[in-house]
Each structure stands twice: as C-alpha cells, then as structure tokens.
Structure 1
Amino acid sequence: MNTPDRSPQQSPLQVDAVVVGAGFAGLKAAHDLVNNGHSVVVLEGRDRVGGRVFTGEVAGVKVDLGGTWVSHRHTAIREIAEQVGCTTVPQFAEGRSTVWLAGKRRTYKGTIPRLSPAALVNMARIQLALDKLAKTIDVDAPWDSPRAEELDAISLEEWLDHKRARSTTRALMTVVTKVEWGCQPSDVSLFHVLRTIRAFGGFDFMLDAEGGMQEARYVETTQEIAVRYAALLGDRVRTGAPVRRITQEADGVTVETDALQVNARYAIVTTATEHRGGIEFEPALPENAQGLINSWGLGALSKAFVAYDQPFWRADGLSGEALTDTGTVFITFDVSPSPDGPGILMAFCDPRVFDAHHPETRKAQVVKQLTDLYGPAAARPIDYIDHCWNTDSFAPGGPNPAVAPYASTRYGSVMTKPHGRVEWAGSETAGEWTGSMNGAVLSGQRAAEAVVGLLATESHTRKKAYS
C-alpha cells in the first residue's frame, strides 16, 4: 500500500478496473479481478484500509473499535482471515449474564433475560412473530417479497404497539436496534428489520454468542485482516485518496481524486449508500438512485473499552455480557485476552448521550454504569479507550443503514443496479449476511464477477471486430 504523491502533475493511471473503497468489499473485488488477470487500482479516502473495521489499543491489548464478530457460518471472511494468518478466539460467554431493567439488576442464563413469566411469554411471542414474518422475505430480492410494501409501511415501534409488546420487550428490542442499525425502533422499518433477521438466519442466531453471530473474535483484530489482505495487493492500493468525481464515456470511466486520475474500463464503488452522495457522477445518478442515497443513511453507534487488572467478574460467575435500558451504556461483552488479565469490557454506547461530551466525561459515564452492573471493582479501571463513529472525520456513521418506513421498497431495488460502467458493492448490498463483514466480502465477489464478465465480453467483441 502507499499514499499517492500530492503533486497534481501525476500522469493518469490506466487499468482495467478501479475500485473505490478499501474495506472488505473493495479488497475482495480487487483480489478477484487480479486473480482473473486484470489490472486494478484501489482508491481509499481514509489514511488506512478497513473501512468500518478499525483497531484500537487498551492496556496494551488490540481491540476492535468497529466490526468485531464472526460465526462459523461466515465462510467468506473466514477464508480471507485464514489466508493471511489471522486466528479466532471464542467470545467468552461462560457464567450468568446481567440485566438492568426498570431500575433493577438481575442475572440470567441464555440469550433472553429470565424476567417475570408474563414478560418472558411476551418476548417469546414477539420473537416468534418476527421469525415467522422474516421467513417470508426473499433474501436475494427482498423488495419482491409478498407483503413487502405492507411490512415497509410501518416502523418496528409501530409494529410493537400493534403486537402489544410489554415494556421489557420494548427495552430489549431497543437494544437490538441500537446494536444492529444504530437507531431507535421508531427510526427503522419493520421490513428492514425482517430483511436483516432473514439474512442472518433467524432472531436467535442474530443475538447469540455461542453458535451465533457473536461466536468468535479475531486475536489480531478484524482490521488486521484487511491490512494483511491489502498488503498482498501491494501498490495497487492507494490510501489518502478520496474519490471526488467519476465520469463516463462510451468506452470507459475516469475516476478523479485530489491528486490522481485513473482511467479504467469499469469502476466498482463500495462506499456505504449514504456516502455515494460524496462523489460527483457524470452523467448524474438517476433520480431513484439519488433517493437511495438520501433515505439510506447510516445509523450511529459508539464503543468504549474499559480495562482492569483482571476479569474480576468471572470470579463472581458472570459472563461480562450485560443489557441495560438506562444511561449511556446499553450492552457489554467480555473481550479479555486471558483469565489472567487484563480484564477488558467492551461497552456499546448510545451516541445521543455520549458523543458530544469530553473524553473524560464519557469515561466517567461508562465507568459509573459498569460499577452499577459489576460492583465496586469496576470503579477502578487501569485504562480506557472509545470511538464515536458518528463523529468520524471521514465517512461517518455506522454500523449499518437505519432505513425508515417506505425507503426499502421504494429504493432498495436500485442499490446494486449498475450506473453505466459503475458497479456497486458494500455490506448493505449483500443478500445473505447483509450488514456483516461476511456480506461485504460476498458483495465484492459479486461485483468482481460482473466486471470480469463484462471485460470478457468486450474482449471477445473486439477480437471478432478485427478477425
């Protein structure tokens, strides 16, 4: 990898395909194109690769400030990680989890907190209804599913009203929407929720650590996978090169950064749907594609890591997993490297009451809540780090689009529709595993296959013309 010289006198690069974005989608697309014998350049606006995966450090331990977990079913990302020598460690889930709801602290075993019998029955009924509806969604063409428009016409919160969800059920569903889409239940359509549940293989699988979506983490961190994978591409990857403009002619595309011009046969753009709006297209994107950009904005999510000498909660029989319906923190996980320490708790934080504060205030908020959840020992951390994705200096927001009612069925079908010689990829463009690192890899594979086919067709046509 290298960062391009900022001199405006650089000669244009000539390649078969240019890839915009060096997250997992872009890197996978580039690798597949190279493996098919094509010349490629990858342009990344940040000064690093990885996109929404990002490594931080707390108490000398590398941690995932962005995307974190993989399942045994995430074969696409696992194959890449194995190729570059990155290894998984199971997500610690031994012992009882903690829940703080309506001002009361309890502990429980399993995925769903064991509250009152009535609350448990209500949650089970809601979960069953969501799974049943999710099975009606076509994961590859969700917008064409039966009742798609009906299900997209209401928010998750409105549906919970209709289903007479109890306060405890609503609190738990709020935690789910904050983690998965970075928003409140009122901000996301029922249809978008169902699409994700279907793509992830069911509600339980979406939430579970043991055997589910949170099954394992990478010792080296997920960004390290991207760093090593990008290194295999060498100087084909250009960081610090935000794409400003993409113009098309009948026989190719021109992609411009602040200091570099790339002429290619085709382009693959892997930025989040919202951030497609930061690129000027000529010819301009059609009206429905602009509607997608305007209505598929990313949610907001922040993460904090608090380190201790040891994972003291384990001695109390606690897993380090907690749910809470109040304050800044709404879910925690134990990401300690070993039983001997340091002990590290990962805390997901609500950006509405977190991001605007000074770092020391943010730390105090988090430590206070961890003390409520885990006792006085939590008040004595040895280190702390956080990251507010919504205030990120480049391409802010995450983890996934928070798609409001009507926007999925109105605009979702154009998400992968090519714009001339521009193909689209990125996690949210995937069918199965949409919104995950595995989905990002699969989307890059799909886009590369399309470009490889188009290049082959053009080559065949040219040969016939000269034969």
Structure 2
Amino acid sequence: MRDVREHPKIEADVVVVGAGFAGATAASELARSGRSVALLEARDRLGGRALSHPIGAGKIVELGCEFHLPDSVNARTAAALGIASEKVYDEGYKLIETERRLTRWKGSIPRISPIALADFGQAALRIERMRRAVPEEAPWTAPHAARWDSETMWSWTRRNIRTREGRLLMRLLLEAGMGAAPSEMSVLHVLNYSNCTNGFRAMTTITGGALENRFAGGAQNLVLRIAENVTADTYVNAHVRRIEQGDDRVRVTGPGFEATGRRVVVAVPTPLVGRIDFAPSLPETRTRLTQRMTMGAAIKYLVLYDEPFWRRDGMSGMAISFRSPFRAVLDGSPADGSPGVLTVFVTGPAAHHIAAMEPSRRRELLRRQLGRYFGARAEKPQEIIEQNWMAEPFTQGCYHGYCPPGFYTEYGPALKEPIGRIHWAGAETVPVEYGAMGGAIYSGRRVAAEIAGQMSTKSSTTAVIA
C-alpha cells in the first residue's frame, strides 16, 4: 500500500474508488484480466465496513461485519483463499426481555405468550412465502412488486399481526437485523433482504441461520487477501472529491492527488455517492436514487471479560430485548473461549438515541443492562470497545443502506447501470446477497467483467506513478 500524499499523480486503465469488499474484488479481478488499476481508499486502512480489532495473543474481535452463511459468496471466496470459518457459540439458554419480564428459552423460538407467538409465526410464514416470489437479481420484477414496494413494513405488520407483543417482536427482529425501523423500509426491501439471509427467520438466528459462522482471523483479513495482487496499486488517505468524464478518459481528484484512467469504479456505499462532485452532472434518476437510500443505524460494542463466565451458568450469551436500546447480545468470544467477549448491538432509532448521550452514560447503561442479563459480574468488564458506525465519515451507518417505499420500482434498475465511463459496485448496487459481504464481492466481480468486456487488452497501459 502507498500513501497517496507521496504519489500525487496516478495513471491506470481503471481507477477504483473505495477499498472494501467490492472495490478490492473489482481491482483484483481487473488486474488478473490484464488491466492496470489504481485502488483508492479514503481511510488509512482497507476493509470498509469490515474492521477487526486485535486483543492480544494473535486474537481479534470484530467491530464491523462478521457473520456469514455457509454457502454465501464470501464463504466460498474465503474457502478458495484458505480462510477457515468458526461457529458462533450457541449452547445453553437464551434470554428475551419483553415489556413485562425477562425469560429464558432454548432453541430457535423465543418464549413469549403463546397467542403472540402464534400471531407472529403466521406472519413470518407469510413473509417466507412472499419472498420466494422475489427474484434476487431484479426484485422490482416480482409479481406484486408495485404493491409490496408501496407499503412500509410497519403498515404491513399492523395489518397482519394483531397482538401487541407479536408486533413488538417483529419490530425488534427488523431493527436488530436491518438497522432501521420497520416504518422506514418497504415490504419489498424486507423480502429481498430476507432472500440474502436464506429466510426471514434466519436473519437473526445463530444455529442454522445468518449468524452461525464467522471467519477465522477476521472479516477484514478476507479483504486484505482478496487485494493481495493489487497491494502495490493501492493508495490510502485518498479522499475522492470529484470525478470528471471526458470523451476517452476519466479524472478522479481529491486533496493533493489526481488519478486518471479510461474507466472508474465507484465502490462506496450508495448513499455516500452524493458527496462526490461529478462533471458532467449525473442524470436526475441517479441523483435521486442516491438521495432516497439511507444508511442503517448501528453501534457495536465488544465487552471483554477474563472468561465467558455465563457459559458456566448454562447461558449461551444471547439476549434480545423489547425494552432496552441494547437490542441484541451474542457470545463473541474467540474459538478457544478466552477471553470472554459479549457482542452488543444498538440499532435503528435506539442507536440515534444512544449516540446522543455522553460516552460515560452510554457505558453505564450498557453495564447495567448486561448485569440484568448475566448477573453482577457482567457489570465489571475488563474493557468496553465501542464502534459507532454512524460517526464513521466514510460509512455514516451500518449494516447497509435500506430502501424506503417506492425505491425499487422507481430506481432499482439504475442501481448498477453504468453512466458513461462510470461503473457502480458495492453491497447496495446488486440485489444478490444485498447489503452483505457476499453481495459486495459479487458486485465487484460483476463490474470487473462489465469493464473487461468493454476494454481491449491491447490498449491497456502500465500505471505511471509520479
């Protein structure tokens, strides 16, 4: 990797903006096809929403994206690179905090009132049937796309779930799983996202669900491995401010640098594209698309102890709450169980509420809530690590961008359609495994193939670094 401040003039066949999963994949694939690339990253690191934090003895905890399905695009990519997966701990009792009580349960079905559970269950089954009619490649072509895209998920919930507790459970699962309130997203968006997690219920399930696996060595390591063949062509601290298109060239500029090429791949979160100045201006459809999509809200905490003491008490470490802003807790301990780590998620409206508090107040509330779940020892961690993704200037939210009513049917086809020499990649640009690591990798491969098909190998140039 190079610091762009030491290389202010860069030339390549393709300039790639953003070095997360999508950008790293696009650059790597293009380099393998014989094109010269310049991979630009605004941060001083690679990975985007993947951020692994060392805790000593060669172990890490995940501050960003972490979990994957066993047969996802990213899982297959990791396996091809020799990166193993680990199971998330899921033995013992789980906890659910309703409005009235704290209850333990085992298995995949939380313990709430039987009437509310049946009420929620029939709605979940209905969502499962509906999602199967939604094509991942083009959700806007589903048989009932217009109707599903015109309604918020909260309106649908109120029509299809009669009990208060059933509705609260639906809201909890959506906020915990998608980082936004059900009133903010369309039904079609939920159906499409459910496809990427192999089912609606799997979205927040460990064993047999989307939270079952994580990568040994961390998700960020996977990005680094993907980008190994373009390390010398990667430039950090490159904050792109402007992209200009000419008849046969593109010019990408930011403070202190200029990169020119024949094509450019924009691989930043779709809602952040509006922070880049384009000349000529982007078409109105693309501009409005960027304005309509919003990043989810998420704060992730890693709470460290000398050991996972809750396991001795027969607890899995998983807890979910209707009441607390700390919506979900999982056992995030390393594979060997040392040290003990609880991973805590604050999502949706609760994340905005918590982010407005003083840091000391946030941590006090967190310790108190963990004490409710796991006893007095949980209130005395060795360390609390906080990652507020909303405060990250080059992400401004997590887990992904969500789509409000009307988005897919109005703008869906434009998500990945090139505009002249500008190509779009990222977890939000292609519905396959939408918003996930695998979706980002998929998009990087798609855009690399797209560009390779439009460029002649004979016209490839060698990057010149001034």
TM-score for the superposition, normalised by structure 1: 0.93
Cα distance in 1, alignment partners of residues 162 and 256 from structure 2: 55
Correspondences of 1:36-75 after superposition (within 5 Å):
36-57=33-54, 61-74=59-72
Cα distance in 1, alignment partners of residues 293 and 124 from structure 2: 25
Cα distance in 2, alignment partners of residues 393 and 275 from structure 1: 10
Cα distance in 1, alignment partners of residues 285 and 335 from structure 2: 50
**Number of corresponding residues:** 456
1:425 and 2:425 are equivalent in the alignment? yes
Counterpart of 2:406 in structure 1 is 406
Aligned-pair identity in percent equals: 32
Letter in 1 for 2:164: S
SS in 2 for 1:428: coil
Counterpart of 1:117 in structure 2 is 114
SS in 1 for 2:441: helix
Cα distance in 1, alignment partners of residues 50 and 178 from structure 2: 16
Q: Answer yes or no: is the 8 Å Cα contact 2:300–2:344 preserved in 1.
A: yes
Q: Answer yes or no: is the 8 Å Cα contact 1:24–1:226 preserved in 2.
A: yes
Q: Answer yes or no: is the 8 Å Cα contact 1:6–1:259 preserved in 2.
A: no
Q: What's the offset of the Cα at 1:168?
A: 2.3
Cα distance in 1, alignment partners of residues 97 and 171 from structure 2: 14
Cα distance in 2, alignment partners of residues 222 and 308 from structure 1: 22
Summarize deviations over 1:14-47 as a string: whole Å, max 9, x none: 2111111000000011111011111001111111
Letter in 2 for 1:224: N
1:383 and 2:383 are equivalent in the alignment? yes
Counterpart of 1:21 in structure 2 is 18
Distance 1:458 1:281, change over 3 A: farther
Letter in 2 for 1:201: N
Cα distance in 2, alignment partners of residues 394 and 432 from structure 1: 23
SS in 1 for 2:262: strand
Q: Answer yes or no: is the 8 Å Cα contact 2:417–2:423 preserved in 1.
A: yes
Letter in 2 for 1:376: A
Q: Answer yes or no: is the 8 Å Cα contact 1:274–1:296 preserved in 2.
A: yes
Counterpart of 2:464 in structure 1 is none
Q: What's the offset of the Cα at 1:103?
A: 2.9
Q: Answer yes or no: is the 8 Å Cα contact 1:135–1:198 preserved in 2.
A: yes
Cα distance in 1, alignment partners of residues 304 and 206 from structure 2: 21
Q: Answer yes or no: is the 8 Å Cα contact 1:58–1:385 preserved in 2.
A: no
Counterpart of 2:189 in structure 1 is 192
Cα distance in 2, alignment partners of residues 101 and 205 from structure 1: 21
Counterpart of 1:463 in structure 2 is none
| Structure 2 portions without partners, runs of 5+ | 461-466
Cα distance in 1, alignment partners of residues 87 and 237 from structure 2: 34
Summarize deviations over 1:2-24 as a string: whole Å, max 9, x none: 111268xx4x3221111110000
Counterpart of 1:435 in structure 2 is 435
SS in 1 for 2:402: coil
1:281 and 2:278 are equivalent in the alignment? yes
Q: What's the offset of the Cα at 1:294?
A: 0.7
Distance 1:333 1:400, change over 3 A: same
Letter in 2 for 1:64: E
Summarize deviations over 1:287-337 as a string: whole Å, max 9, x none: 111111111011110011111221111112111111101122110100112
Q: What's the offset of the Cα at 1:352?
A: 2.2
Cα distance in 2, alignment partners of residues 179 and 429 from structure 1: 22
Report the RMSD for the aligned CA atoms in angstroms.
Answer: 2.0
Q: What's the offset of the Cα at 1:140?
A: 0.7
Cα distance in 2, alignment partners of residues 358 and 235 from structure 1: 42
Counterpart of 1:336 in structure 2 is 333
TM-score for the superposition, normalised by structure 2: 0.93
Summarize deviations over 1:268-300 as a string: whole Å, max 9, x none: 111111111011111111111111111101111
Distance 1:84 1:136, change over 3 A: closer
SS in 2 for 1:193: helix
Summarize deviations over 1:419-461 as a string: whole Å, max 9, x none: 111111101122321111011100100000000000039969x
